[in-house]
Chain A
């Protein structure tokens, strides 16, 4: 299917575990983004990538790691999950008109 897909859609994990959230887009957009969304905070940028092998931190990057070895994939890893990382995570890609398209989101609960 064309578009941007995230997996898993729902994830429950325990504190201290490593968790990887996957994001795949079929448009070959250069830019990709990871956000988290929490009540009262809106969408906050975790990491973004301007192209394969080019990544940069957003405003809430502590505790997260990303990689971008291929244009179409942009996985987000929580190295040692904490309860404060319980959130809804959205991946997005951006086209040449600067329009961002979002995946369906991953709802992560850290117990």
Chain B
């Protein structure tokens, strides 16, 4: 069973600060990585996808991938109270006939005023 590891948190950051969320994965062959945000009582929604080593920026969000270290991270700049949620890291894996996502257990982020 492929594993995706995240610190469960809560990670507490003050408003306006940078939040850094980390994820490690066990399958060295993984090629596709995703960050989902889940508000309490709601369903997960995609924030970012990343497929190549390096950084990918989208607004206040930056995803970082290091395949050699099997590490993917999400940076949130200028954190806002509305960013308070659980962030799920997901890694795509192939099962031979199909592909599916393996999710980490998520990191709960709290942005304080």
Contacts and interface: CB of A to CB of B under 8 A. Distances in A.
Partners in one complex: yes
A31 B98 CA distance: 9
B45 to A, nearest CB: 7
B41 to A, nearest CB: 9
How many A residues touch the partner, as a band? 20 to 34
A43 interface: yes
B100 interface: yes
24 contacts: A31-B98, A33-B100, A35-B103, A42-B103, A42-B106, A43-B44, A43-B103, A45-B100, A45-B101, A45-B102, A50-B97, A58-B100, A97-B49, A99-B34, A99-B49, A100-B34, A101-B46, A102-B43, A102-B45, A103-B43, A104-B42, A104-B43, A105-B42, A105-B43
Interface of A: 31, 33, 35, 40-45, 48, 50, 56, 58-59, 90, 97-105
